[in-house]
Every structure is written in C-alpha cells, then in structure tokens.
Amino acid sequence: MAIVRKKEYRERSRRRAHVLRKSRDLSWSAVRALLLICLGFIVMYPILHMIVTSLKTYNDLVNPGVVWVPKEPTLRNYRNAIELMKFPVALRNSITVSVGTALIQTVICSLVGYGFARFRFPGREILFYLVIFTLLVPPATVVVPQYLQLRFFDPLKIFTLLGIQSLNLINKHWVFYLPAMLGMGIRSGIYIFLFRQYFRGQPRELDDSARVDGCGYFQTFLRIMAPNAASIYITAFLFALVWNWNEYFQSVILADAISTLQTSLANLRSLLEQTTQGLTAMGFSGDPYTQIACLMAGSILTISPVLALYIFMQKHFVESIERTGIVG
C-alpha cells in the first residue's frame, strides 16, 4: 500500500512540475511576443505614419479624429509627388547609379580584400590600416579636393604632357563609377574588410591544390575563392546598393544635374512651397497640411524599392552577416 501511495505521489509531482514548466514557458513566450510587438511597432511606426498621412485628404488631415484610418483615402498625393519629382526619370537615374556603382564596388573590393588576405608584401598592414582609416573620415572633409580632382581630371598630368585639356567629369556618371573603380567608393573600406576576413579564413591548402593543378593567382581567385564567397558578394552588393541609393551629399555636390530620387525628394519641398498656377490645377492648395501629405508620398516612393529589396533578400542579409561574423 505504501508503494502505491509513493507512486501516486511521484506521478502527481511529475504532473505538477510539467504543468508549472509549461505555464512558465507559455509566460515567457507571451512576454517575448509582447516585447517583439512593441519593438516592431516602434520600428514600423514612422513608416506606418508616412503611409497613412500620404493617403489622407485635406479634410482628414485637419480632422483630429482621423488618426490611423483615413475616411476618404486618396492617391492624389502620390500623383502630385510623381509629377513634381519627375519620378520615372529620377528612378531610372537612381537605378543606373546605384546598381552600376554597387557592382563595381563589389568586384573591386573583393580583389583588394583577396590581395590583403592571401598575399604578403611590404607595407601590407599599413595599407590596410589606411583602408580602415577611410571609414573614419567624414565625406564632407574630402568633398572639395574630390570636386577639384573630378572637375579638372588629369591623372598624373598625362593630359597636360600630351597637350590635351583636362576632363570635366562633374555632373556625369563617372563621379560615382570612377571612385568605385579605384576602391574609394562610398564605404568601400567595409566591403574590403569583409572580403579580407572571409578570405583569411580559407585554408591555405586551397591555394596549394590550385597551384598544383596549374592555376595562377587570378585563376585561383576566379575558380575557387570567388565561387565559395558567394554569400559575401551578396552582402557587399546589397549594402553597397542601399548606401548608394540613399546617398545625397555627394549627389548634390558632384552630380546635381543627374536627378536621382534623393535629390528630387530634397527639391520637392521647395517645389511644394511654390503657389503656381500649375500646382493649383493639380489640386494642390499650397497649405502646410497638403505639403506634408505630398512629402510623405514622395518619401514612400523613394524608400519603397529599398524596402522591397530587403523583404525579398532578407534571408541573404541574415545568412551573409552570420557567416561573415563566424569566419576569420
């Protein structure tokens, strides 16, 4: 009889411990879910606010009772923003500049990172420290010499020796492509560092095996190293694309004539402040409320390609960053 009671007591204790453990797990799951919802709302609040404001009419904007759900949603603000920003032209220029520069940066930085990781030469560490130092230099401090260099482009005074006038690269796509080709594009030091860390983590036996098979240094890079570094290439390209897409300072200083989405969005406010006949015909009254709604619509149009890219490429973002952090 005592043995039966002990078994029943143990069974009740086991069930009680199971219930407590399950309730504790459910409580922690609820806390984590609540925390993630709060953090998600904090992160998404600005975007949700922009979307809702861009869909409001004048009556909804001045109505304090309308906060999240417009009573009369409209797309007029988007039509006005598209027309004032010349959205198709600006979108084409942004894609041309961002994608082209990102591709060049990815290729060049991978070569530079491979050289720092796999070759030993005098001054290698000093040169790499200089590459890292470029990350600490604000772009505003070098924009004047960069402008003069591109305005009177004459590498090593070759054109002067040949009696040819220096080239003017300002307001041309070369102001973006040329620094990327020389490994000095926007935040190129980060991509060089990523490639260097990855290639340093690869075993030396790969180089030895390739050399035995008759591959030179460049063939080893193309046939062995580059295919294995596909995740790092995706990471560098995506970050380069996003940073070049959002770049405004250099665009307005060096290529103001090339209307990108960032410069068009910056000029949208001044265009909205003009009370011209054309704007009145578009249904734009010129008051501050409709200005804000139109600016919100322009902001959504500007960031929507990047948001779509992140949504579809989120897996590659996470996996690439994790792999980059593990290797090296």
3-state secondary structure string, 269-314?
HHHHCCCCHHHHHCCCCCCHHHHHHHHHHHHHHHHHHHHHHHHHHH
For residue 275, what are the CA distances in angstroms to 59, 80, 279, 282, 285?
A: 20, 14, 6, 11, 8
Residue 49: pLDDT band with limits 50, 70, 90? confident
pLDDT at 81: 86
pLDDT of residue 217: 80
Between the CA atoms of 96, 97, 103 and 106, what dihedral angle is there, to the nearest 10 degrees? -170
∠ CA 10-15-19, nearest 5°, is 145
Reduce the DSSP state of residue 122 to 3 states and report it: coil
Lowest mean pLDDT among 4-13, 73-82, 144-153, 289-298: 4-13
Q: What is the mean pLDDT of residues 299-306?
A: 88
Of the listed ranges 45-54, 219-228, 267-276, the one predicted with least confidence: 267-276
The two three-digit tokens of residue 193, written as one number: 């560092």
Beta-carbon contacts of 211 under 8 Å, excluding residues fewer than 6 positions away, are 220
Query: According to CATH, what is the number of the domain 77-326?
Result: 1.10.3720.10
Provide the pLDDT for residue 281: 47
Contact 272, 294 (CB under 8 A): yes
Per-residue confidence band for 83, with pLDDT thresholds at 50, 70 and 90: confident
Stretch 9-24: mean pLDDT: 71
pLDDT exceeds 50 at position 247: yes
Residue 285 has pLDDT above 60, yes or no: no
Question: Does residue 325 have a pLDDT over 70?
Answer: no
Whether the per-residue pLDDT at 103 is higher than 90: the answer is yes
Compute the distance between CA of residue 317 and CA of residue 138 in angstroms, rounded to an integer.
26
Cα–Cα distance measured from residue 228 to residue 218, given in angstroms and rounded to the nearest whole number: 15
Question: The whole model's pTM is what?
Answer: 0.79
State the Cα–Cα distance between residues 115 and 124, nearest whole angstrom.
9
Query: DSSP secondary-structure letter at 221?
Result: I
Average of pLDDT values for 211-221? 80
Token readout for 265 is 């969005």
Mean local confidence (pLDDT), 74-89: 87
Whether residue 243 contacts residue 187, with contact meaning beta carbons closer than 8 Å, is answered with: yes
What mean pLDDT is predicted for residues 254-281? 73
Q: What is the mean pLDDT of residues 182-187?
A: 84
pLDDT cut 90: percent of the chain above it: 5
pLDDT of 323 over the 70 cut:
no
Ranges 8-12, 62-66, 177-181: which has the least confidence = 8-12
SS3 70: coil
Residue 176 has pLDDT above 80, yes or no: yes
Distance CA 82, CA 285 (A): 17
326 has pLDDT over 70? no
- Rounded to 5°, the CA angle 264-258-241 comes to 80
